[in-house]
Structure 1
Amino acid sequence: MTNDPCQREQAAAGLEQLASLVRAHSWRSEGLPALPPTQAAVLRMLAGADNGLRAQQIAARLDVSPASLSDTLKTLQAKGWIARRTDAGDRRASIVHLSKQGRALAARLKHPARGMAALLQGLDAADVGALLRVAQLLVGKAQQQGMATGLRTCLGCRFFRPFASGDAAQPHVCGFLGTPFGDAELRADCADQSPADAPLRAANRERFQLRAPP
């Protein structure tokens, strides 16, 4: 583990530059309406939820306040991109889902030639795997410091078994699927994720940070 302040400063600068790119691109993506980052994130999230999501689930995953999300949902609904239906399990709550127009827009937002996905074109599997590995560690650190909640990463999942397969090419195991996999198959947002408790997250994070199987 490096303790070089200059190296960490440069890494932090790179992250800040990428964050600025994300914010700027969400407002001025060619051929798409100008969207604040939170609105774009809600549309992408709902695109991966066939049965819709409760507002509280969306707020938790985005780590925004219910009041802030309420304003976002009102705007999206006014534009005709989302709709709400009564939750059959709780008549006091509603399920948010994409409208036909919203689904078409979300598909364009998620296109691999747009947004941050476009920056990954041309990277080989090893580089993508390295990025996914670092993303897992950074999200885990953010959760550890109370900066993020509700994110559905492998490292935060109770089914994740880092360096448990004995196979150097596919060192990790997904207990949900019962299959080994490598860094290039790590998930930053997995629909089947089941949050691990704090002790398991800490143990997995410590094991995952190793450069080689223990």
Structure 2
Amino acid sequence: METPTDPTAIEHRILEGIARLATALRAEDWERSRAAGVNPTQYAILQHLEGRREGAGVKEIAAQLGVSPPTATDSIQALERKALVEKAEDQRDRRATRVRLTTAGRTALETGDALTGALRNTTEGLPAAEKQGLLVTLVSMIRSLQEQGAIPVQRMCVSCRFFRPYAHPDASRPHHCDFVNAAFGQSELRIDCRDHAIADPASRAATWKVFERG
């Protein structure tokens, strides 16, 4: 085989690689969903609600999943019929409702999450340095998508008002979380933290500059 003299752009090849990973992830999502007794959209709703003690609104759920509010509503109603979620009055807006996991919903989610697939096995098999580098790259990509408005702000360290990047001289644990008042390292960066408190746009931008320089 000859090496091509005009390969496609590297960005295109990166997206091809991500698409292959997404294919494997979708297949595993189907397996986890079946184990939990729901479909993938319903399973994604259960995942989104996990760790959100106050629940979430229908519009928030739809935005996070990238589906229309009617689609989210249909899936939520199906989960209600299965007693996996429940609706409660929003204490901040009595005209709105919040969707919350039930005990049965947590059990179903735990059943699905207990399945380990090839993609997780592959990730676990990476050297520690590669895993850490990949995590930071993913944080950077997700953050860029957020700032472009392509996805909602995620519950990541870099968008949290409690995050202090490179606050410590220790190279192994340079960051600080004000919520738990503890130092932590790059490999402990969160993509979805239940204690997340979103920072305002200006603070997020300033925090990112420090994180990026570090």
State whether TM-score is above 0.5. Answer: yes
Name which of 130, 133, 136 aligns with 2:136.
Answer: 133
Alpha-carbon distance between aligned partners in 2 of 1:120 and 1:158, rounded to the nearest angstrom = 29
TM-score, length of structure 1 as denominator length: 0.81
Match of 1:76 in 2: 79
- TM-superposed CA distance for 1:105, in Å, is 1.1
Distance 1:114 1:82, change over 3 A: farther
Distance 1:42 1:17, change over 3 A: same
Whether the 8 Å CA contact 2:36–2:111 is kept in 1: the answer is no
Match of 2:182 in 1: 179
Name which of 161, 164, 169 aligns with 2:167.
Answer: 164
Give 3-state SS (helix, strand or coil) of 1:173's partner: strand
- Greater shift in the superposed pair: 142-151 or 17-26: 17-26
2:69 counterpart letter in structure 1: P
- TM-superposed CA distance for 1:107, in Å, is 0.6
Give 3-state SS (helix, strand or coil) of 2:124's partner: coil
Match of 1:16 in 2: 19
Distance 1:48 1:37, change over 3 A: same
Kindly tell me the number of residue pairs found equivalent between the two proteins: 208
Give 3-state SS (helix, strand or coil) of 1:93's partner: strand
User: Which 5+ residue runs of structure 1 have no aligned equivalent?
Assistant: none
Higher share in helix: 2
Distance 1:15 1:46, change over 3 A: same
- TM-superposed CA distance for 1:42, in Å, is 1.0
Give 3-state SS (helix, strand or coil) of 2:21's partner: helix
Name which of 48, 53, 58 aligns with 2:51.
Answer: 48
- TM-superposed CA distance for 1:16, in Å, is 1.4
Identity %: 34
Give 3-state SS (helix, strand or coil) of 1:155's partner: helix
Alpha-carbon distance between aligned partners in 2 of 1:11 and 1:96, rounded to the nearest angstrom = 37
Match of 1:122 in 2: 125
Match of 1:98 in 2: 101
Match of 1:62 in 2: 65
Whether the 8 Å CA contact 1:47–1:107 is kept in 2: the answer is no
Give 3-state SS (helix, strand or coil) of 2:45's partner: helix
Give 3-state SS (helix, strand or coil) of 1:209's partner: helix
* Pairing 1:195–2:186 present: no
Alpha-carbon distance between aligned partners in 1 of 2:65 and 2:143, rounded to the nearest angstrom = 15
- TM-superposed CA distance for 1:70, in Å, is 1.0
Structure of higher CA gyration radius: 2
Whether the 8 Å CA contact 2:164–2:207 is kept in 1: the answer is yes
Give 3-state SS (helix, strand or coil) of 2:157's partner: coil
Whether the 8 Å CA contact 2:153–2:159 is kept in 1: the answer is no
Superimposed CA distance per residue, residues 78-127 of structure 1 (whole angstroms, 9 cap, x where no aligned partner): 33322223345543332322233322110122226258544433344433
TM-score, length of structure 2 as denominator length: 0.81
Distance 1:202 1:23, change over 3 A: same
Say what the alpha-carbon RMSD is for the aligned residues: 2.8
